[in-house]
Amino acid sequence: MRNLIITILLIMSLIVNLILVTSNRKIERNYRDSIKTNQKISSVLNFQKIFVDKILNSKGEVKYEDRKEIDRLASNTNNQNLINSWNDFVLAKTEYEAQNKVREILYIIADTSSTK
């Protein structure tokens, strides 16, 4: 009888451990996903800060170094929509095109920052 009780307790302990391990793996996966999401949002916000500081608040021509920095920050986001819109903004031939691309960039930034 005593052996049966010990066996049942061991089986129950094993089941509880399996549940805890499975739960821990799910928590760890969610944690890793959260870190990736936070890194993605952080890179977009870094781009946003420099974009606003160096482009939108610019009093004239944007320095080459500033444009290269924003190119790098756009690439760091790994957000293809943002990268494409930035490149289209840089290649805009008219003020109207550039303004449309600025709106597009700001929309992408807002969308990335608020929905992920």
pLDDT in tens, 14-58: 998 889 888 889 999 999 999 998 999 999 999 999 999 999 998
Mean pLDDT of 89-101: 94
The overall pTM is greater than 0.85? no
Q: Is 76 helix (H, G, I), strand (E, B) or coil?
A: helix
Is the pLDDT score of 70 beyond 90?
yes
Q: Is 94 helix (H, G, I), strand (E, B) or coil?
A: coil
pLDDT band at residue 115 under the 50/70/90 scheme: low
Domain count, the chain: 1
Domain extent at residue 12: 2-115
Say if residues 55 and 74 touch (Cβ distance below 8 Å). Answer: no
Q: Which amino acid is at 107?
A: Y
